[in-house]
Amino acid sequence: FHSPYGCSKGCGDQYVRDYHRIYGLPTVVFRQSCIYGPRQFGVEDQGWVAWFIIAAVSGKPMTIYGDGKQVRDILFVDDLLNAYDAAIEHVDIAAGNVYNVGGGPQNVISVWNEFGPLLEKLTGHPLAVQLGDWRPGDQRVFISDIHKAGLELGWKPQVDAEEGIERLFKWVSKNHTLFE
């Protein structure tokens, strides 16, 4: 609850939990971190991993807000789908619960200081970026504690950050005309 956006998500979480508690619906809350993967049409404000790859491939301008050292965990979409399957498979345990679903500590990357050089390696050339002011409510570090999902659902990410970024880069490059 660090911003109006975060508050709106928290409100939704509470509605879902209350529907379980009051009406017995087998609801599950997933507090998802930075999800990315093929077929994601990221834009500057949402889907930052996809957005930077799309911008790099299509030559669009990129802005780094803050110092680029912000830390996020990232989760490849295939791993998110596996988490959904695990919750369904273990709905007797999962119903009424809240799970942090993100890349966790093993899939942490800085928004530009680490991601930028990786993207430059994939494109084969330096990338120009503009710097912008910090955005209100932006957290410097966010890493999901995915321990509960591992214990109760037997789930953990399988695709590491570098492999997932490379897979998304290849998809965007192959489908670059979708972003023109």
Q: What is the pTM of this model?
A: 0.94
The pLDDT tens digits for 111-161 are 999 999 999 999 999 999 999 999 888 889 999 999 999 999 999 999 999
pLDDT above 90: residue 107 = yes
Give the CA distances from residue 158 to residues 20, 21, 49, 50, in Å, rounded to whole numbers and listed in that order. Answer: 30, 32, 18, 19
The pLDDT tens digits for 11-62 are 999 999 999 999 999 999 999 999 999 999 999 888 999 999 999 999 999 9
CA distance 166 to 116: 13
pLDDT above 90: residue 85 = yes
Residue found under tokens 């273990």: 90
Q: How many residues does this entry show for the chain?
A: 180
- 5: annotated active-site residue: yes
Residue found under tokens 């490849």: 76
